[in-house]
Amino acid sequence: MNPTVNKTILNNGVRIVSMTMPHVHSVSMGVWVHVGARDEAEAEAGASHFIEHMIFKGTARRTAFQIAKEFDAIGGQTNAFTSMEHTCYHARVLDTQLGTMVDILSDIFLNSVFDGKEVERERPVICQEIGMVEDNPEELVHVMMGPAFWGDHQLGRSILGTRENILGFDGPAIRGFFKRLYQPDRIVIAIAGNVEHRRMVDMLGPVFSTIAAGNGFAPRTTPAAGDGIRMKHRELEQTHVCMGMKGVSVADPRRFSASLLNTIFGGNMSSRLFQTIREERGLAYSIYSFLNAYADVGMFGVCTAVAPKDLDAVVDLIMAEIRRLKREPVSADVLRDAKEFTKGNLLMAAESPDNQMVRLAQNEFYFGRTISMQSVIDDIDGVTSEDLVALAESLWGSGSVALTLVGPGVDRSDFSGRLFL
């Protein structure tokens, strides 16, 4: 259950963390930076995501085509993602191709040229990505929840940025953001699979130790949870709904209770929301709850899509289930099933080198150490029904729920007084 984990810190602060999984034939590696959309000034919004695209657009040694061709030639899977707090460049290959993967990932991370012509080519691609989100009401209702819940704070912005910013970025601006924020003590290289730690340090150490220390990092600010209402009219068959309320941070000791509360509320097919709204009343095809957790704050949310005529009824049913969680302890059977569901998903995910690579990096960023799976299981098993009621009351004891809607016209006044916790 607890494979071998090793950690090395280079002289400049770059951390290399690896997990040896000798039963697999592949290696997953991610170069992580503790920099994301919440670290951008307003005029920089979208820069982290733009860099994610540009990393693959050429180095002093390789063109964009050569990068893609070399990864394809070894049967590798490579990608990148940007979140509010991180940016990650990752790949997975057979263990026999480890050296090639390390060489390519190191090259694109350390030697990308951010060529002006490539920036020009990538601008319309990212604008198209923004358009794809705007055309998809299921995604758009989530993006709208950002400013509804977090207001003008960076957490309320779209990770993609704005079209105005994207069209204004050039090579020097992107390069400057990269050099200023991609500091060595913010970098974690996480590796999981059939790999030896010493070999990884020997391969990565000489190249990543060349990154010069930065001039410090502006502290992140913590936003307050809000209860805004945002609506966007679209001529659709359904009204897409997202509701947001206070959650817990990534490192909050109550995170295990929050995970179980989410499972019971709307995290699977036997959850209260799914059974009440879909199975018993047939008011929605899909309904689920979710957790968005950050270093210092979090949001607990619900998302669904319903016929416009059923919107009022569904909102009232969701609110009733929230209030029920605050006043009624869940039964022993329900809590036991939620624990087994959660533990089962964790243990099955642990069989994947990709998932273990992600877990290594996140544990390092948020806790500074690896937390064993057995420790997590023990903490889940230790949650009581009383813990769930206490958490629900603590989070949702007063105030209102934030709401975003995309679909046929509705009036803001329709929800006056109905979203009160």
d(CA 384, CA 322): 18
Nearest in space to 103 (alpha carbons), one of 55, 57, 70: 70
Nearest in space to 362 (alpha carbons), one of 24, 26, 79, 88: 88
* 65 CB-near residues (< 8 Å, 6+ apart): none
Instruction: Clarify whether 122 is annotated catalytic.
Output: no
Using an 8 Å Cβ cutoff, are 230 and 149 in contact? no
> C-alpha distances in angstroms, 332 versus 153, 266, 339, 385?
40, 18, 11, 7
Element spanning 76, H or E: none
Nearest in space to 357 (alpha carbons), one of 12, 20, 14: 20
Residue whose tokens read 């026999």: 96
User: What DSSP letter does each residue of 322-334 carry, written as one string?
Assistant: HHHHHHSPPPHHH
d(CA 131, CA 116): 23
Q: Bridge partners of 230?
A: 404
User: What DSSP letter does each residue of 146-157 carry, written as one string?
Assistant: HHHHHTTSGGGS
Using an 8 Å Cβ cutoff, are 49 and 160 in contact? yes
Nearest in space to 26 (alpha carbons), one of 74, 80, 94: 94
Residue whose tokens read 């000489």: 206
Three-state SS for 301? strand
The conformation of residue 400, written as its DSSP 8-state character, comes to B
d(CA 398, CA 323): 10
- The single residue of 40, 42, 44, 52 carrying the catalytic annotation is 52
> C-alpha distances in angstroms, 308 versus 43, 292, 415, 420?
38, 27, 14, 21
**In degrees, to the nearest 5, what angle opens at C-alpha 354 toward C-alphas 351 and 360?**
90
Number of other CB atoms surrounding residue 163 within 10 Å: 14
Tell me the one-letter amino acid at 36: G
Which amino acids are annotated catalytic? Answer: 52
